[in-house]
């Protein structure tokens, strides 16, 4: 059974043992033989995120007496909340006033009477636990559920009480809570949080171990039966328009820190954020591994650039009519010293998410210029090479200056430089992109709109978007070419683009059937495994060499 902690501070061993004897049937009793030792004990308990419910204090002690101890205790943010009962044999008024004015709560006279002591101690503890001060330490002000620290302590206590029973940490999040707050106001947000707390109590009972940490981060500690009940019912419904998602961590290892247990429940819920039709998710160790991998990749980006672990592949683009090489896309590759080859499909979105993509983009661009300048020096005929510009860089108003400087530094004409900007950058902030695009085009660079068909851009936007080429997204290409031509919108898209003087590249062409269909609808260029996979720079050099021979 879990017991509250009581600290007995007393230098006389016989007295100390007597108190331990009396109290230990009801309490977990810890002892100290003087004030200084007691302060250390309290600090220790506090560091373990546990609480002392009451202190029994002798006044006359060596090293540090009771008054000095009281004074120090009341100066401590946490210690000030612990009720102190002074044990004394000679109750005189002076001592009493002095003790009370130093912050003692009550007296217990010597010799000790077990019943009186137990009774008084229980009363004081009860009183204090219901007082406003302790509320701040235990409860979340808004919802009346526990706060984070106290919840952590309750988890530990539950292990002490019952080591064999399985426990579950369950967290719940409101989808788009921030948005809710912004749209309906903080008060409505608070009401919603209260509503949820109420539902939790109604569903699991008033003595449920539940907490709110911050914002909409709720946590519950459920035992096996509670968890089964919860599982059967799936979720607590608030309103049809408010989506609540749940993350579950089954406590299999009781030795890991409780903070980490809660993090794992959070990880489980975060990984289903925004997913359609998935409202509950249980933590599994692969999530942690994925997170560690992400962290490892993020931490090593600078070093990777410095040590040239990144390099560039080229994927040729061909004319649909005569399969002539008309250009190439530069695609970054990462040879990680520990993980081996890592796909850009993995690290680019990660770097974008954490705002560290710009350094890599710069590096790749310069690498491309270095290659182009080498090819040029060797006397090859160049073809335009397109470079990917990630969203954040697309909004950079110095983009044209950056590329202009590179063309000067490496003596490459701007007409050989194409920039691929993803469709979603246009739909999100068209004004900024249009401005950047006008600057770039003025200098002679070409703009390709990447991933067309994967988002929401409409054809009638093209005329104002300043793009020279659209790149049809791989899924779009593969979907549309699988339909009969009269049912596909491919032809319409391409015709419309041509009317606006925009060329069209199809990406991800893998079969002859796809190529033929693209030819039938007058697509201009193709890129894909059918023609060539992305290749290292020296192989690409061979492709350029062929242009000389056939010229």
Residues whose CB falls within 8 Å of the CB of residue 522, separated by 6 or more in sequence, listed in order: 491, 494, 495, 498
Q: Toward ligand C2E, which CB reaches closer, 384 or 534?
A: 534
Rounded Cα gap, residues 296 and 223, in angstroms: 35
Map tokens 């029973």 to a residue. Answer: 165
The answer to whether the beta carbons of residues 53 and 134 sit under 8 Å apart is no
CB of 347 to Ca ion, least distance (A): 15
Helix axes 430-442, 399-410, angle to 10 degrees: 30
Phi and psi angles of residue 55, each rounded to the nearest 5 degrees, phi first: -120, 130
Options 23-31, 39-47, 507-515, 543-551: segment touching ligand C2E (CB under 6 A)? 507-515
Q: Toward Ca ion, which CB reaches closer, 251 or 447?
A: 447
Q: Is the dihedral of CA 352, 356, 362, 363 positive or negative?
A: negative
Among 35, 66, 327, 534, contact with ligand C2E (rule: CB under 6 A): 534
Q: Toward ligand C2E, which CB reaches closer, 170 or 348?
A: 348
The answer to whether the beta carbons of residues 425 and 395 sit under 8 Å apart is yes
Q: Number of C-alpha atoms within 13 angstroms, CB side, residue 298?
A: 14
Q: Which 170-229 positions form the footprint of Ca ion (CB under 5 A)? A: none
The answer to whether the beta carbons of residues 491 and 452 sit under 8 Å apart is no
CB of 447 to ligand C2E, least distance (A): 14
Among 388, 437, 457, 481, contact with ligand C2E (rule: CB under 6 A): 388
Q: Tell me if 143 contacts ligand C2E by CB under 6 A.
A: no
CB of 30 to ligand C2E, least distance (A): 59
Among 300, 390, 407, 437, contact with ligand C2E (rule: CB under 6 A): 390
Q: Toward ligand C2E, which CB reaches closer, 58 or 451?
A: 451
Among 11, 58, 250, 361, contact with ligand C2E (rule: CB under 6 A): 361
Options 100-108, 140-148, 339-347, 402-410: segment touching ligand C2E (CB under 6 A)? 339-347
Q: Which of 366, 369, 386 is nearest to 467 (CA)?
A: 386
Q: Tell me if 420 contacts Ca ion by CB under 5 A.
A: yes
Site string for Ca ion, 426-455 (x = CB under 5 A): ------------------------x-----
Rounded Cα gap, residues 57 and 111, in angstroms: 14
The site partner of 345 among ligand C2E, Ca ion, none (C-beta below 5 to 8 Å per kind) is: ligand C2E
Rounded Cα gap, residues 47 and 72, in angstroms: 18
The site partner of 447 among ligand C2E, Ca ion, none (C-beta below 5 to 8 Å per kind) is: none
Residue count, binding to Ca ion (CB under 5 A):
3
How far does Cα 458 stand from its chain's mean position? 33
Q: Give me the residues paired with residue 425 across strands.
A: none
Q: Toward ligand C2E, which CB reaches closer, 58 or 450?
A: 450
Options 66-74, 111-119, 296-304, 527-535: segment touching ligand C2E (CB under 6 A)? 527-535
- Residue 218's alpha-carbon distances to 78, 281, 517, in angstroms, are 25, 15, 54
CB of 529 to ligand C2E, least distance (A): 3
CB of 422 to ligand C2E, least distance (A): 7
Q: Tell me if 453 contacts ligand C2E by CB under 6 A.
A: no
Q: Which of 122, 164, 342 is nearest to 252 (CA)?
A: 164
The site partner of 102 among Ca ion, ligand C2E, none (C-beta below 5 to 8 Å per kind) is: none
Options 228-236, 263-271, 384-392, 539-547: segment touching Ca ion (CB under 5 A)? 384-392
Options 237-245, 336-344, 386-394, 516-524: segment touching Ca ion (CB under 5 A)? 386-394
CB of 453 to ligand C2E, least distance (A): 11
Rounded Cα gap, residues 365 and 332, in angstroms: 10
Among 189, 344, 384, 414, contact with ligand C2E (rule: CB under 6 A): 344
The site partner of 529 among ligand C2E, Ca ion, none (C-beta below 5 to 8 Å per kind) is: ligand C2E
Options 173-181, 208-216, 338-346, 432-440: segment touching ligand C2E (CB under 6 A)? 338-346
Q: Is the dihedral of CA 198, 199, 202, 207 positive or negative?
A: negative
Q: Toward ligand C2E, which CB reaches closer, 236 or 356?
A: 356
Among 529, 536, 546, 548, contact with ligand C2E (rule: CB under 6 A): 529
- Residue 85's alpha-carbon distances to 67, 101, 123, 490, 532, in angstroms, are 12, 13, 12, 84, 84
Q: What is the 3-state secondary structure (H, E, C) of 154-220?
A: HHHHHHHHCCCCCEEEEEEEECCHHHHHHHHCHHHHHHHHHHHHHHHHHHHCCCCEEEECCCCCEEE
Question: What tokens appear for 286 in the block?
Answer: 């692969």
Q: Toward ligand C2E, which CB reaches closer, 224 or 529?
A: 529
The site partner of 453 among Ca ion, ligand C2E, none (C-beta below 5 to 8 Å per kind) is: none
Q: What is the 3-state secondary structure (H, E, C) of 53-76?
A: CEEEEECCCCCCCHHHHHHHHHHC
- Any idea what the Cα angle at residue 218 is, between residues 217 and 223, rounded to 5°? 145
* Other Cβ atoms closer than 10 A to 273: 13
Q: Toward ligand C2E, which CB reaches closer, 170 or 523?
A: 523
Among 213, 280, 508, 523, contact with ligand C2E (rule: CB under 6 A): 508
Q: Tell me if 140 contacts Ca ion by CB under 5 A.
A: no
CB of 370 to ligand C2E, least distance (A): 14
Rounded Cα gap, residues 489 and 485, in angstroms: 8
Q: Tell me if 528 contacts ligand C2E by CB under 6 A.
A: yes
Per CB under 6 A, residues contacting ligand C2E are 315, 331-332, 343-345, 348, 357, 361, 364, 388, 390, 450, 474, 507-510, 527-529, 534
Interface contacts to Ca ion, rule CB under 5 A: 388, 420, 450
């Amino acid at each position: 059974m879990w017991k509250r902690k009581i600290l007995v501070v007393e230098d006389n061993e016989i007295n100390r043992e007597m108190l331990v004897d009396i109290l230990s049937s009801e309490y977990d009793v810890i002892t100290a033989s003087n004030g200084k030792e007691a302060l250390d004990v309290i600090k220790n308990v506090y560091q373990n995120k546990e609480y002392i419910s009451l202190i029994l204090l002798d006044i006359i002690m060596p090293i540090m007496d009771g008054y000095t101890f009281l004074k120090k205790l009341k100066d401590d943010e946490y210690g000030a909340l612990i009720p102190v009962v002074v044990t004394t044999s000679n109750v005189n008024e002076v001592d009493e006033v002095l003790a009370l004015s130093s912050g003692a709560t009550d007296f217990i006279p010597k010799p000790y009477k077990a019943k009186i002591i137990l009774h008084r101690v229980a009363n004081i503890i009860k009183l204090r636990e219901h007082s406003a001060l302790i509320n701040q330490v235990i409860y979340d002000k808004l919802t009346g559920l526990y706060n984070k620290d106290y919840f952590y302590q309750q988890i530990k206590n539950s292990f002490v009480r019952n080591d064999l029973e399985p426990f579950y940490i369950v967290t719940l999040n409101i989808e788009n809570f921030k948005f809710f707050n912004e749209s309906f106001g903080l008060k409505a947000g608070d009401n919603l949080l209260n509503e949820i707390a109420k539902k939790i109590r109604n569903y699991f009972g008033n003595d449920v171990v539940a907490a709110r940490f911050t914002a909409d981060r709720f946590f519950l500690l459920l035992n096996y039966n509670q968890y089964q009940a919860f599982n059967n019912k799936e979720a607590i419904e608030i309103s049809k328009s408010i989506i609540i998602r749940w993350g579950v961590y089954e406590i299999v290892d009781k030795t890991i820190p409780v903070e980490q247990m809660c993090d794992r429940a959070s990880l489980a819920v975060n990984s289903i954020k925004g997913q359609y039709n998935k409202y509950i998710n249980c933590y599994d160790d692969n999530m942690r591994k994925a997170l560690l991998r992400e962290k490892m990749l993020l931490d090593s980006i600078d070093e990777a650039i410095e040590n040239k672990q990144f390099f560039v592949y080229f994927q040729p683009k061909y004319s649909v009519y005569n399969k002539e090489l008309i250009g190439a896309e530069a695609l970054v590759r990462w040879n990680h010293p520990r993980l081996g080859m890592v796909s850009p499909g993995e690290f680019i979105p990660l770097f974008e998410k954490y705002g560290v993509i710009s350094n890599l983009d710069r590096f790749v661009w310069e690498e491309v210029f270095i290659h182009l300048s080498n090819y040029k020096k060797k006397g090859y005929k160049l073809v335009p090479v397109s470079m990917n510009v990630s969203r954040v860089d697309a909004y950079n108003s110095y983009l044209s200056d950056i590329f202009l400087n590179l063309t000067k530094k490496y003596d490459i004409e701007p007409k050989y430089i194409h920039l691929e900007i993803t469709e979603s950058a246009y739909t999100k902030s068209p004004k900024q992109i249009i401005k950047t695009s006008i600057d770039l085009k003025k200098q002679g660079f070409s703009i390709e709109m990447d991933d067309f068909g994967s988002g929401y851009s409409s054809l009638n936007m093209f005329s104002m978007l300043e793009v020279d080429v659209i790149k049809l997204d791989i899924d779009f290409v593969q979907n549309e070419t699988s339909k009969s031509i009269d049912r596909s919108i491919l032809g319409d898209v391409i015709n419309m683009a041509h009317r606006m003087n925009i060329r069209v590249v199809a990406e991800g062409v893998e079969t002859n059937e796809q190529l033929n269909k693209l030819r039938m609808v007058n697509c201009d260029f193709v890129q894909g495994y059918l023609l060539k996979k992305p290749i290292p720079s020296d192989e690409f050099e061979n492709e350029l060499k062929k242009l000389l021979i056939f010229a």
